[in-house]
Amino acid sequence: MKVHVRTARRPRGFTLVELLVVIAIIGVMVGLLLPAVQAAREAARRMQCSNNMKQIGLAAQNFHDTYKRLPPGNLGPVANVPTGSNDSGHQYVSALFYLLPYIEQTAVYDNVKTALDIDIDHYPGITYSTTSSLPVQNWWANDVAWSAAQTRMPTYECPSANSYDNAQTFAYTYTRDLTVTGGVWASNMPQLGRTNYAPSAGGIGQSHVNAGWARYKGLFWPRSKNKFSDALDGTSHTIAFGEVLGGYVANKLDTAFVWMGVGAMPAAWYLPQPTNRPGWYQYGAQHPGVVQFCLLDGSVRAVSGSVPQGDFLFATGTQDGRLHTVTND
């Protein structure tokens, strides 16, 4: 009779060299995978940003359907000051404020409307007691408007940008007569809701002092009342809204915009190079190499920073006679 003997052998472990090789392989794989993960995340953020702009474009169209015109660029100074107005103390509420009812923020809009005179034709220094007893004043001087401006609006914020990492905050901006002006607080007012989108002023807004620039006027400027029919170049050839970041000092975001007071952005300084380091008076975005824009027809385009300057300028104008179309990057 034979007896079979089975011996359990102790398994051989990894040597140090083998372990180091495995760790190195894993490191390489992670290194190859990480950029792909980051790219996928940015693609998702850019898609969300595009959707935000689409919602803003649709809101502008719905506003036009209701009032038969687009909202004003903001309630700021105009070129020809009405008799009796001191041209100071403007409300400075933005086009984005007027779109609130169309992005499911009616409560915020109505709350401000009951405390601040937001009539587009009502100017500071003039009494409108026959039609309104509400004050015509800076929105930040109005307690109700100040409180409302602290509401964060996800639709107005690009997920790729960090507009709360800044040193200063614009209370308002406006474009008038070859000049873009911004009122900035020395402190960043962290409680105020930011925005990464602004309406388009065209070249430099409604220019009254230079006929050459007047041809590039856009859809929005202080107290503008433009209609779709004013876009003579066509709704699919005219930029309505674009991405903004604020201004940079070196590699640090220095200023950012508040949705309650952001005015129309001019195109006179074109797109920055690189696109993620704009001046405060330029469009800009944190998407790699592109800035997204919403055209008047509601379509959204990602525009490369290398777009010909003339094409970009013409695309922001409403009646320059050049049917340039900025294409998807």
SS3 annotation, the chain: CCCCCCCCCCCCCCCHHHHHHHHHHHHHHHHHHHHHHHHHHHHHHHHHHHHHHHHHHHHHHHHHHHHCCCCCCECCCCCCCCCCCCCCCCCCCEHHHHCHHHHCCHHHHHHHHCCCCCCCCCCCCCCCCCCCCCCCCCHHHCHHHHHHCCCCCHHHCCCCCCCCCCCEEEEEEEEECCEEEEEEECCCCCCCCEECEEEEEECCCCCCCCHHHHCCECCCCECCCCCHHHCCCCHHHCEEEEECCCEEECCEEEEEEECCCCCCEECCCCCCCCCCCCCCCCCCCCCCCEEEEEECCCCEEEEECCCCHHHHHHHHCCCCCCCCCCCCC
Residue 228 has pLDDT above 70, yes or no: yes
Residue 11 has pLDDT above 70, yes or no: no
Highest mean pLDDT among 41-45, 246-250, 254-258: 254-258
- For residue 240, the one-letter residue type is A
pLDDT in tens, 185-196: 878 788 899 999
Q: Indicate the pTM of the whole model.
A: 0.86
Please give the mean pLDDT across all residues of the chain: 87
pLDDT in tens, 93-112: 999 999 999 999 999 999 99
User: Which whole number is the average pLDDT over 142-153?
Assistant: 96
Percentage, residues of the chain above pLDDT 90: 58
- The reported pLDDT for the residue numbered 100 is 98
Residue 324 has pLDDT above 70, yes or no: no
User: Which whole number is the average pLDDT over 293-317?
Assistant: 92
User: Which whole number is the average pLDDT over 3-13?
Assistant: 54
pLDDT in tens, 195-221: 999 999 999 988 777 778 888 889 999
Calpha distance 273→283 (Å, rounded)? 11
